[in-house]
């Protein structure tokens, strides 16, 4: 089939490349001419494992092309995926729909009868109905994305579920045809109405955020009582009703999805007069933000009370591993707070240094871990890249000024670091060395 993808940011670029890899002819459209030029040359504008090869294959075969004209998009195909951003509105956290509406308005004058516009953006309930009024003669469906940065290609080509919200059997049939290779491989498709499809993404991310904040609340209690949060969550995770996924104590979540989505859901439900139903999401958000302050305070105590004239090495800048995304990054927030408290802060990250430097130019950056840790009075492990788990703590101890470590992600082997002479601290755990 011939398909267009409107918006070639993180979701759109991955979706377009994957649709082409499924055998469709795809046109990606974006107003950012520089980004379009990069994509047309087969170069992804961000780091995502596997995307570069997929993008190059699509461009080389001719199944994937890019442009800047929505009129061209309407001529190219009659099925259009909207993949533009929905950033939070300042002050309220509600989703800003101006880019979704602008994309729809740009398409509207050019659409032919029977066109299908499929939203993938994360939006409040009722958005598809609002767009339908702006797109006379076209049907609007919703097909939320469930991509995890660092696993986005795999999540698209091997999805845990595909959700489609449509108002007609014909639209559902068209989406089933688009995703036929995935359905044949065993991916489940959940067909529902547009409102339910819109709500699924927000509900899923809010539930996951709640699990993370719950375990971090338990981490605070462990700090106060001397209990061990890792043993606690290990025991909890053995309960099949709870499960171990997302029971991850530490620095908390960041990025462009979970924080934004819990605030957007709370704001939209409050707008319906049902704020009491999601009041707990405000506390989920507050608990998550508190983890950054807890990590800074743990570091401060380990240094004897202050950061002034201390050298602090930071391992990790991206909000999560396998990504170069620093949007709402807990790691970068902690690094900047420590710098503002008087420390000289040097940061390492395998992929996110350029974005981190643009976001926080006052921080220092180093090309490798050894250089980052030279003469450090404290090492902060803030993003759980696998490379950091492979470090030799004994070798690293020879380059620091003081072997002090805060493992804010609980993924380093505390015993081996302690045996190498390090004093190790981690949120929610008793003294480790």
Identify whether the C-beta of residue 253 lies closer than 8 Å to the C-beta of residue 206. Answer: no
Strand order in the sheet with 423-425: 364-365, 344-348, 311-315, 378-381, 404-407, 423-425
Using left for φ > 0, alpha for ψ between -120 and 50, and beta otherwise, residue 200 falls in alpha
CA torsion sign, 277 to 280 to 284 to 285?
A: positive
Q: Which residue has the tokens 């379009």?
A: 36
From CA 176, how far away is CA 190, in angstroms rounded? 10
For β-strands 423-425 and 64-67, DSSP reports them as unpaired
Q: Three-state SS across 359-419?
A: HCCCCEECCCHHHHHCCCCEEEECCCCHHHHCCCHHHHHCCCCCCEEEECCCCCCHHHHHH
Instruction: Give 53's contacts (C-beta < 8 A, 6+ positions apart).
Output: none
**Catalytic: 257?**
yes
Q: Are 376 and 335 in contact (CB under 8 A)?
A: no
How many whole angstroms from its chain centre is CA 402? 34
Residue 296, CA distances (Å) to 103, 286, 290, 316, 417 in order: 42, 16, 10, 15, 21
Chain-centre distance of CA 302, in angstroms?
31
18, 83, 257, 360: which is the annotated catalytic residue?
A: 257
Distance CA 194, CA 154 (A): 25
CA–CA gap between residue 213 and residue 281 (Å, rounded): 10
Q: What angle do CA 392, 395, 396 make, to 5 degrees?
A: 85
Element (H, E) at 139: strand 139-142
For tokens 């797109």, what's the residue? 135
Strand partners, 407: 381
> How far, in Å, CA of 103 to CA of 411, rounded?
42
Q: Which residue in this structure is represented by tokens 């101006």?
A: 98
Backbone φ and ψ for 245, nearest 5 degrees, come out as: -70, 135
- Residues known to be catalytic: 257
């Amino acid at each position: 089939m011939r398909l267009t993808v409107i918006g070639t940011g993180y979701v759109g670029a991955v979706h377009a490349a994957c649709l082409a890899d499924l055998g469709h002819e795809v046109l990606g459209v974006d107003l950012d001419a520089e980004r379009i030029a990069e994509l047309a040359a087969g170069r992804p504008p961000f780091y995502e494992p596997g995307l570069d090869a997929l993008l190059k294959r699509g461009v080389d075969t001719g199944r994937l092309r890019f442009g800047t004209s929505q009129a061209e998009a309407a001529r190219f195909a009659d099925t259009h995926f909207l993949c533009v951003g929905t950033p939070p509105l300042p002050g309220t956290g509600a989703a800003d729909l101006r880019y979704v509406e602008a994309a729809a308005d740009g398409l509207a004058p050019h659409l032919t009868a029977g066109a299908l516009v499929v939203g993938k953006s994360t939006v409040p309930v009722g958005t598809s109905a609002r767009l339908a009024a702006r797109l006379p003669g076209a049907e609007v469906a919703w097909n939320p994305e469930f991509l995890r940065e660092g696993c986005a290609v795999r999540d698209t080509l091997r999805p845990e579920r595909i959700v489609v919200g449509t108002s007609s059997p014909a639209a559902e049939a068209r989406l089933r045809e688009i995703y036929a290779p995935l359905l044949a491989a065993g991916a489940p498709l959940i067909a529902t109405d547009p409102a339910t499809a819109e709500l699924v993404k927000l509900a899923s991310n809010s539930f996951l955020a709640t699990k993370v904040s719950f375990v971090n609340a338990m981490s605070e209690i462990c700090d106060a009582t001397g209990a061990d949060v890792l043993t606690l969550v290990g025991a909890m995770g053995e309960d099949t009703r709870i499960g171990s996924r997302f029971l991850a104590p530490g620095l908390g979540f960041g990025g462009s999805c979970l924080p934004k989505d819990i605030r957007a859901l709370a704001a939209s439900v409050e707008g319906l007069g049902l704020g009491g139903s999601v009041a707990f999401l405000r506390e989920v958000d507050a608990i998550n933000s508190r983890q950054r302050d807890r990590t800074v305070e743990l570091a401060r105590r380990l240094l004897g009370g202050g950061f002034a004239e201390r050298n602090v090495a930071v391992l990790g800048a991206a909000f999560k591993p396998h990504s170069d995304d620093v949007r709402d990054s807990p790691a970068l927030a902690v690094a900047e707070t420590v710098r503002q408290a008087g420390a000289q802060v040097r940061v390492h990250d395998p992929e996110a240094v350029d974005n981190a430097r643009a976001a926080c130019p006052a921080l220092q950056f180093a090309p490798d871990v050894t250089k980052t840790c030279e003469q450090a009075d404290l090492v902060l492990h803030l993003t759980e890249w696998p490379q950091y788990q492979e470090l030799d703590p004994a070798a690293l101890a020879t380059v620091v000024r003081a072997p002090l470590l805060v493992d804010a992600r609980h993924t380093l082997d505390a015993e081996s670091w302690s045996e190498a002479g390090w004093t190790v601290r981690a949120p929610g755990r008793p003294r480790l060395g």
